[in-house]
Amino acid sequence: MLKGIPKVLTPEMLKILCEMGHDDEIVIADAHFPAEAMGKRVIQYPCISAPEMVEAIVKVMPLDTYVKAPIMVMSLVQSDIDKGMPIPTMWEEVRARSSEIEGFEVQLGEYERFEFYEHAKKAYAIIQTGEERQYGNFMLRKGVVLN
């Protein structure tokens, strides 16, 4: 046991976060995401939501302050927009909670679906959650610890 570490962060997960360097990205994916097809290190967390995992990570890993949007999401595809699908509420939930933890206004950026997949292939790791809501995919860019 360690003090101050969210219980959902396993030793394997903490090792990955420690190994990551400035500008490395980690994907927090929903249950629908083709994680295994990305050819990267994949860790399964089927009993936690994507926003819960993002929150746990942001508590221990600094987000990059040198980019406009240190958290990227997958844009809604046109057919979902045409059907009237609203912007996922979890996006604002993640943005607000990350801002609270970081102490600055965290911005979310968007990648088109296939652009998100291409970036995910280059990510340091993919954490696949049990998130069942659509568009529950977040890409976090690691920053530096500033004292």
Which residues carry out catalysis? Answer: 22, 64, 117
For the chain, how long is the longest CA-to-CA vector?
49
Closest C-alpha among 116, 131, 113 to residue 77? 113
Quick one: which of 105, 120, 110, 104 has its CA closest to 33?
120
Which two structure tokens, joined as six digits, stand for 32?
């629908």
Show the tokens assigned to 86.
């609203």
Q: Which helix (H) or strand (E) holds 125?
A: strand 125-129
In DSSP terms, 67 is beta-bridged to: none
Tokens of 123: 């990510």
